[in-house]
Amino acid sequence: MLLRAAPWLVIALLTLPVGLGVGLTVLPAFGYLPVLGGNALTLQHWQALFASPGLSDSILVSLQAGVLTPLLALSIVMMFLAGISGSGLERWIRRLVAPLLAIPHAAAAFGLAFLIAPAGLLSRLVSPELTGWTRPPDALIVNDPWGLSLMLGLLIKEIPFLLLMALAALPQCDPQRRVAMARSLGYSPAVAWLLTVLPALYPLVRLPVYAVIAFASATVEVSMILGPTLPPTLSVAVLQWFSDPDLAWRFQAAAGALLQLGATAFAMLLWRGLEALAAVLGRRWQAAGRRRGESVVRVGGTFGVWLAAGLALGGLVALVMNSFAGFWRFPDNLPRAWTLQTWSRTLPELSGPLGNTLGIAAASTAIALVLAVAVLEGEQRDGRKVSPALWLLYVPLLIPQIAFLFGLIVATEFLRWVPDWRLVLFAHLLFVLPYVFLALSEAYRRLDPRWTQLASTLGASPWRSFWRIRLPLLLGPCLTAAAVGIAVSVGQYLATQLPGAGRVPTITSEAVALASGGNRSIIAVWALLQALLPMLGFVLALYVPRVVWRHRNGMRDQQ
Amino acid sequence: MTEQQTNATSHRLQLQDVRLSLRGTLLLALDADVCGGEIVTVMGPSGAGKSSLLAWLAGFLAPAFRASGTVLLDGRNVLALPAEQRRIGLLFQDPLLFPHLSVGGNLRFALPAGKQDKDARVQAALVAVGLEGYAARDPDTLSGGQKSRVALQRLLLSEPHAVLLDEPFSRLDASLRRDVRALVFSTLQRAGLPTLMVTHDPEDAEAAGGRIVQL
């Protein structure tokens, strides 16, 4: 039966390409790629890789981003949640944070760059009054060699992501009772939360945390926009080698992609060590029975979350201003003139990329939604709990993209498949499906089983109760999952660029292509469009159920 | 009440040598022969497996439980059938009106496929419990007693051959409880349906007026 096969189909769909991709990266890394004349196994490409200038700096920045930003983001999120526990604000925060998550990485990175650059919005706001600057300071803030702005760019995306993941898992930990119990023993609320709720919550968000590590240690688009350039991060270096017109560089690119895999694995290993350390320290803290730290936790969490939200929103404002800016002299706070010229000049170029973006996002999301619903519905019908193999679904999120997309390209070239939108669609599906599943599964599993039991006692077949009862009751969560899928697809850079060989331009690939040396106003237009599409999806997901169920009070809390 | 339900041929529900256990621990053992129009009450403390017994009879027992025995409805072994073909109706503790359907939509959902004049049947079902003109209403706007009546009519429209009641009055106010209880019992008796009720409320058992099985 179809539903019975669904989990295995999904797992195969997601793990086989990743496995194949990694496998086909290994061969060229050791010199075997007959298409390019590599017939013998050799270590020479590894020697060339390790001899390339600045490699250790590249690795170091990647590792630093891969471990430090998740650490900071997770600490801020947990302190924030500890601080607001019992306030009943969780629902509101969920609403407020979701749009931040919708902003694609590239758009957020561009926004941040326009905000903090020497001639950026912040510098203009305080100049010359506070700084005395009449010309932009000669400082390398964006693209700094230490990767600080890169890490800041990652943080403003990681914090909302982890915050939403934690909020979704929180009810399972029964925080009210745990905190009340600890408070009755004399602990202040935030400290009580950290001591009693956090240990139960962390295992539930562990997978998203590792996904964050994988992304942060291997991001391409955020590095291209905010990261160091000479040398760039490892992932960007690999992409440069891969894209070199001289195809012989591909061997070194393959070796580099494997090195990236190793670097990400090492970052995860370091994280594992931090987990063990935190467990020991946490137990000691518990055993010591110390009750201080309330204000530190509250202030740290609140400050961190507001800073991230402020930077993300400030970045959007900077994008909007730049996109409408005419002549804008430093240090003027506002442009001398506002103009629609950039928009009107860019819009004609838009239709192709916009069509590709929307088409691929819609198709990959639709496929992902059908597959996710099939897996979850099958799970409900069997009455069996979560299949243990389902964690494999998340494999594409835990392996650096470049490490397996590279091999997949080798495979398609070997099969003489011409890169086109279908390959891009498939590559997007690898990332859209896990996120759609992640977004939908909680609501699907939590739906009161009595609804379908009742339907069956009324004589409804499983399919009838699926179409008439379960699906309508889950309309809201399904639309939210679809919005997540669209946001993920719209934001994909590498999964567009590599499988499409640059021939399937999307809003994101065009925007990132402008990163080095594009006109600021034009970049702003593209980045805004990139941010706008996912937001539109989330707005629809929020309002469509309200309109559909406007005469059904009982559906208001079904979110 | 529609003509057909009043004159329904009498059904019979037989539970023979039924045993229910949870992870190897025997929860209950039961034999019962319920005739049409009779209400047999099963009483016992919470955790005795009362609700699980009903879930098993209706066809959706949680996998952790094990059950054995024979269940015949009009002489037919229902355990071999999926829930939707057993023709065993169930009233839960809550009325559980589908929140996305109108009151009329809830009733229509229960009508077996291929019925003629569905609208007329829905109308008649509403009239029978004094809710004429409520078809288009949002179920969330109904009072607790009204919801219970709609849930009862929905059950009847699905034309069950036996009915299970899972503490169906425990969530109602004391004032409402008596009225709803009287309505449910008289309706089921008039429809000639064998009914098995589980409850921990002695008043329910007394009002049912049938045999009482103490677990």
Q: Does A184 touch chain B (CB under 8 A)?
A: no
Terminal alpha carbon distance of chain A: 31
What is chain A's Cα-based Rg? 24
**CATH fold of A55-341:** MetI-like fold (1.10.3720)
Asked whether the beta carbons of A238 and A257 are under 8 A apart, the reply is yes
Find, in chain B, the residue whose alpha carbon is nearest to that of A459: B84
- The 10s digit of each residue's pLDDT in B57-80 is 999 887 788 889 999 999 999 999
Say what the ipTM of the complex is: 0.91
> Do residues A147 and A67 make contact, with C-beta atoms less than 8 angstroms apart?
no
Query: pTM, whole model, 2 decimals?
Result: 0.89
Which residue pairs from A536-543 have beta carbons closer than 8 angstroms and sit at least 24 positions apart in sequence?
Answer: A537/A102, A537/A482, A537/A483, A537/A486, A537/A487, A538/A98, A538/A99, A538/A102, A538/A480, A538/A483, A538/A487, A540/A479, A540/A483, A541/A476, A541/A479, A541/A480, A541/A482, A541/A483
Whole-angstrom Cα distance, residue A139 to residue A155?
A: 22
CA gap A3, A378 in Å, rounded: 5
Query: Which residue of B94, B109, B140 is in closest CB contact with A458?
Result: B109
Report the gap between the CA of A377 and the closest CA in chain B (Å).
Answer: 16
- Alpha helices, H only, A117-147: 121-126
Q: In chain A, where are the structural domains located? A: 1-42+351-559, 55-341
CA dihedral A459, A464, A467, A468 (to 10 degrees): -30
Q: Does residue A463 sit at the B interface (CB-CB below 8 Å)? A: no
CA separation, residue A255 to residues A234, A241, A244, A258, B6 (Å): 11, 10, 15, 5, 81
pLDDT, tens digit, 9 for 90 and up, residues A122-133: 888 887 777 777
Please judge whether A454 and B90 are an interchain contact, meaning their C-beta atoms are less than 8 angstroms apart. yes
Edge-to-edge strand order for the sheet containing B76-77?
A: B25-35, B12-22, B65-73, B76-77
What residues have CB less than 8 Å from B145, skipping those under 6 apart? Answer: B172, B176, B179, B180
DSSP letter string over B57-89?
HHT---TTEEEEEEEEETTEE-TTS-GGGS-EE
- Give the C-alpha separation, A392 to A18, whole Å: 11
Instruction: Answer whether B193's CB lies under 8 Å from B165's CB.
Output: no
- Cα–Cα distance measured from residue B186 to residue A64, given in angstroms and rounded to the nearest whole number: 74
Nearest to A156 by CA among A201, A210, A101, A114: A101
Buried b (16+ CB within 10 A) or exposed e, A220-259: bbbbbbbbbeebbbbbbbbbebbeeeeeebbbbbbbbbbb
- Closest approach of chain A CAs to the CA of B174, in angstroms? 24
Return the sign of the alpha-carbon dihedral for residues B64, B70, B74, B79. Answer: positive
Identify the three-state secondary structure at position B29.
Answer: strand
CA distances from A157 to A96, A184, A311, A497, B9 (A): 14, 37, 10, 22, 67
Q: Which residue has the tokens 């903090």?
A: A116
Per-residue pLDDT of chain A in tens (559 residues, 90 and over written 9): 678 788 888 888 888 989 988 988 888 888 777 777 777 788 888 888 888 888 888 999 999 999 999 999 999 999 999 988 877 777 788 777 877 888 899 999 999 999 988 878 888 888 777 777 777 777 777 888 888 999 999 999 999 999 988 988 888 888 888 888 888 888 888 888 988 899 999 999 999 999 999 999 999 889 999 988 888 899 999 998 988 888 888 888 999 999 999 999 999 999 999 999 999 998 888 788 777 778 888 888 889 998 998 999 999 999 999 888 877 877 777 888 888 888 888 888 888 899 999 999 999 999 999 999 999 998 888 766 666 777 888 899 999 998 888 888 888 877 878 778 888 999 999 999 999 998 898 889 889 989 999 999 999 999 999 999 999 999 999 999 999 999 999 999 999 988 888 788 899 988 888 887 778 888 899 999 999 999 999 889 888 988 998 888 888 765 4
Instruction: Report the alpha-carbon distance of residue A408 to residue A423 in Å, rounded.
Output: 10
Which amino acid is present at A227? G
Two tokens at A420? Answer: 């086109």
Whether A423 and A456 have beta carbons less than 8 Å apart is answered as: no
Give the DSSP H/E element, type plus range, for residue B190: helix B174-190
* Closest chain B C-alpha to A557 CA, distance in angstroms: 10
Collect all residues with Cβ–Cβ distance below 8 Å to A355 and sequence separation of at least 6: none
- Nearest-neighbour CA in chain B from A488: distance (Å): 30
With an 8 Å Cβ cutoff, is A459 touching chain B? yes
CA distance B169 to B183: 11
Q: Is the dihedral of CA A283, A288, A294, A295 positive or negative?
A: negative
Domain residues for the domain of B185 are 3-214
Whole-angstrom distance, CA of residue A35 vs CA of residue A385:
47
What is the amino acid identity at position B128?
Answer: A
Nearest CB to A553 within list B83, B98, B141: B141
Task: Name the pLDDT band for B162 (thresholds 50, 70, 90).
Answer: very high
Mutate to test the interface with A, among B52, B108, B109, B161 (most CBs of A within 10 A): B109
- Report the CATH number at residue B159: 3.40.50.300
- Other CB atoms within a 10 A radius of the CB of residue A502 amount to 12
The helix (run of H) or strand (run of E) holding residue A116 is: helix A105-116
Nearest to A79 by CA among A181, A161, A195: A195
Structural contact between residues B2 and B128, judged by C-beta atoms closer than 8 angstroms: yes
User: Which among A384, A468, A552 has CB closest to B109?
Assistant: A468
Judge whether A325 and A338 are in contact, CB under 8 Å.
Answer: yes
**Under 8 Å between Cβ of A200 and A170:** no
What DSSP state is assigned to residue A467?
Answer: I
Identify the sign of the CA torsion A344, A349, A352, A358: negative
Q: Three-class SS of residue B31?
A: strand
Helix (H, G, I), strand (E, B) or coil at A272: helix
Class of domain A1-42+351-559: mainly alpha
> DSSP 3-state assignment of B103?
helix
Inter-chain CB pairs, A–B, below 8 Å: 82
Q: Which residues of A touch B141 (CB under 8 A)?
A: 553
